[in-house]
Structure 1
Amino acid sequence: MIREWKRIFSIPNFYVILLVIPPLIFFFYGFIYQKQFAKELPMAVWDEDRSFTSRTLTDMMEQNENIHFTATVFSNAEIEKLMKEGKIFGAVHFPKNMEADVKKNHQSNITLYTNGAYLVPAKLIYKGAAEIIIKGGLAVVLQKAVKQGMPAGEANMLVQPIKLNTTVLYNPDFNYQRYLTPGLITVGIQMALIVAAVLILNLEFNRNTMDELLRISTSSSQIIVGKMLAHLCISWVLFVLVAWVVFPVFELGKPQTDFNFFILFTLMALACIGIGIMLSAISNNMLFVTDVALFFTSPAFVFSGFTFPRWAMPWYDQFYAKIMPYTHFLDGFIKLYFMELPLVYAADEMIKLLLFIGATFPVATLFFQKRISQYLKNQQQ
């Protein structure tokens, strides 16, 4: 273990992957979402009615934190042009005679344009604008009922007999930094640990240091356990950096979850190291196993279900997701970190990570012992 510690701090392949790149990426991810919220999204207004009602609805939408009117247009073509140029994310169209039609009890259609190429801004604009337009329509009906002599309370019950109250839990403000940064940081850790681990054994052959290693022990289990402990210690250094430095800097820290987070993180780290060491033990082609590790880890964030539910993916994508430690870590992380649940709620995810550990290290030990035996045989010849 001590020898592997020295190698980690002296070989660029290790210390760059494990100690230089991760902190840079952690802070990089944090600063990307420094604004935390997508607010004041630029929109255009196309007002053909030019009435008190259209102006009132426009003013009400402008008060919404998600919407900011930056342009006035007079046609569909202008809306499309501004969207193509990236100057607006949406627009609203008030048709001619809208107010007059409403007063005559005729239905009037307001058109809301959103840019579906940008899913999140489109949803935020729709949420803000639709809420106001619906309220505006209800207000018109309520006003008519009151003018006809109906008591205000009775009119309100008639207009809106069922009222919807919404409560958003665990990230009520839709804070992008609080939601995305922890996920991106932890998937980056998985990638770093696996990519570094695939080099653990092959670098001994690549750098002609096997004789030095075998003077300490010829037991593959001793060698693998020692190297695993050294890399596990490095993963704990990364945990300290994330939980006690990066998270507090970006106001993401939840001290009450640190212990549970640490347990789950340790299991993920061991699973990642196990996969890397297994690949390194199976093949002596360092370039090949590095490519396999990168191919295996790169899509982890997409397949994990963090941004799109896994159950909605094709079965083969769901299978791919299940053979990555990060998927199970993420399921547990959401429970323990975001929802602040007790450790027992992540028992299933911890068992799955233990299965990774229980499968990869014995396989790595078996294959590496064969390579040691072959190496010693070749040396004797």
Structure 2
Amino acid sequence: MPANEGRTGFLAVFAREFSHIRQHARYPLAMFVFPLLSFILIWGLFSEPYPRELPVAVVDLDHSKLSRSLIRAVDASPEIRVAFQAADPVEAKNLMLEGAVYAWLHIPKALEKDILEGKGGDVTGFINTQMLLPGSMVSSSLQATVSTLSAGLNIRSRMQGGAMPEKAMDLLDPVRIDRHVLFNPQLNYMYFLSAALCPTFLQIFVLMVTVMALGSEFKNRTAEHWLKTAGGSVWWAITGKLAVYFLCFSLVGLIMLAVIFPGFGVPLRGSCAVLMAGTLILILAYMACALVLVYLFPSLRMALSAASFFSGTAFAFVGITFPVEGMPALGKAWSSLLPLTHYLHLFQEQTLRQAPISLSVPDLLIMLGFVGAGYCLIPFFKRHMTDSRYWGKA
């Protein structure tokens, strides 16, 4: 006889769900193995924190001392390397279309001659910005390299005209920008992209597993027994079931933070307690979202499809790769409906920005709002549990 036979209430539901997880290997896999493997995968993919030696091609039609100096300067840039010296623009264009290079540089004929004669010259860059991040990095690196070489030529020309080095520098750049890059001056991918992907994977697993756990009760026609185990209390039925998953995912969430900070080397300049609390609330928020989806879609297949759309597309709208402020109104609205958006905002404040706790309180309250909204639906689940019309839907 099972240990919980004859007992009812929260603990009976908890024990029933724990036994269910032990009997079905897909739950431990989805709660522990797959999330941890995803963290390891992210670490492996982004173990090099800085993009280096992105390939570019050069078409040198001048074959002069100046053009060779320019090619060496481009190749010396840490972000890019001259992987190909194409014979003509057609070959360089084909290399870009094949994906072999991110950009190609066209050095025209008589470039050195025109510059020596004071006519100036144009070096043309063709950059593939279809892939935004590498394209923008290659563009910036090429611009900086050509500008530096051009400035050197300008200074040398002025010095040959009798100007002192300091005067030549002032004439070249009369207004200077004193830049202070804050929070991530190293442009380290681990600090913003890798650290953001881990919570993204976590919310996917939390939502999908919770939808599966709730929806399978209706699909397998066990909802009535589930309610009886809770002593007829829909609150004990749902909270007892979700408590098991919350404890499991809380452990995974704490492991995630350990991976991000000691593992990825992301600085923790703010409050560790706020970040841990935010992680736990994030898990509760996505469990609440699962309640909403299962209530709206009694069919397990439809609920899982909606969950995959809601969680799978989240990363595109949270403002990591594209600023929320630049999105259209619909994109901004969708971003605000994602608990992950508010968690990552809190995450950045407490890691890189060293923001005071008071600035992170609104994000915590918004995520708690998701929790409250979802759990307000619990009383309405009793009808689903007792009405056979909601059962057996694949």
Query: Quick check: TM above 0.5?
Result: yes
Tell whether 2:305 aligns with 1:275. Answer: no
Deviations 1:269-293 (A, max 9, x none): 1111111123334543222212221
Q: How does 1:89-168 map to 2 (within 5 A)?
A: 89-168=102-181
Distance (Å, rounded) in 2 between the aligned partners of 1:84 and 1:202: 47
2:210 is matched with which residue: 191, 194, 197? 197
Identity %: 23
One-letter code aligned to 1:183? A
What residue number does 2:339 align with? Answer: 325
Distance (Å, rounded) in 2 between the aligned partners of 1:117 and 1:204: 45
- Alignment: residue pair count: 375
Q: How does 1:224-373 map to 2 (within 5 A)?
A: 224-245=238-259, 247-252=261-266, 254=268, 257-363=271-377, 365-373=378-386
Structure 1 residues 280 and 166: CA distance shift in structure 2, 3 A: same
Q: Is the 8 A contact 2:211 2:303 kept in 1?
A: yes
Deviations 1:25-78 (A, max 9, x none): 111122111222221122222222222222222222221101211222232111
What residue number does 2:5 align with? Answer: none
Distance (Å, rounded) in 1 between the aligned partners of 2:99 and 2:305: 37
Distance (Å, rounded) in 2 between the aligned partners of 1:285 and 1:91: 53
Deviation at 1:195, TM superposition (A): 1.3
Structure 1 residues 165 and 290: CA distance shift in structure 2, 3 A: same
What residue number does 2:7 align with? Answer: none
Q: Is the 8 A contact 1:321 1:327 kept in 2?
A: yes
Q: How does 1:59-78 map to 2 (within 5 A)?
A: 59-78=72-91
Distance (Å, rounded) in 1 between the aligned partners of 2:270 and 2:344: 18
Structure 1 residues 112 and 245: CA distance shift in structure 2, 3 A: closer
Structure 1 residues 253 and 15: CA distance shift in structure 2, 3 A: farther
Deviations 1:143-180 (A, max 9, x none): 12212222221221111112233333222222223322
One-letter code aligned to 2:182? L
Q: Is the 8 A contact 1:47 1:93 kept in 2?
A: yes
Deviation at 1:212, TM superposition (A): 5.8
Q: TM-score, normalised by structure 2?
A: 0.87
Structure 1 residues 282 and 123: CA distance shift in structure 2, 3 A: closer
Q: Is the 8 A contact 1:18 1:234 kept in 2?
A: yes
Structure 1 residues 256 and 303: CA distance shift in structure 2, 3 A: closer
One-letter code aligned to 1:104? E
Distance (Å, rounded) in 2 between the aligned partners of 1:120 and 1:282: 38
Structure 1: segments with no counterpart, 5+ residues: none
Q: TM-score, normalised by structure 1?
A: 0.90
What residue number does 1:174 align with? Answer: 187
2:21 is matched with which residue: 1, 5, 8? 8
- Report the aligned-residue RMSD: 2.3
One-letter code aligned to 2:28? Y
What residue number does 2:6 align with? Answer: none
Deviation at 1:256, TM superposition (A): 5.8
Distance (Å, rounded) in 2 between the aligned partners of 1:91 and 1:278: 51
Distance (Å, rounded) in 1 between the aligned partners of 2:348 and 2:87: 47
One-letter code aligned to 1:313? M
Q: How does 1:25-104 map to 2 (within 5 A)?
A: 25-104=38-117
Q: Is the 8 A contact 2:50 2:189 kept in 1?
A: yes
Q: Is the 8 A contact 2:155 2:172 kept in 1?
A: yes
One-letter code aligned to 1:114? I
Distance (Å, rounded) in 2 between the aligned partners of 1:212 and 1:235: 22
Structure 1 residues 89 and 11: CA distance shift in structure 2, 3 A: same
1:219 is matched with which residue: 213, 233, 242? 233
Structure 2: segments with no counterpart, 5+ residues: 1-10
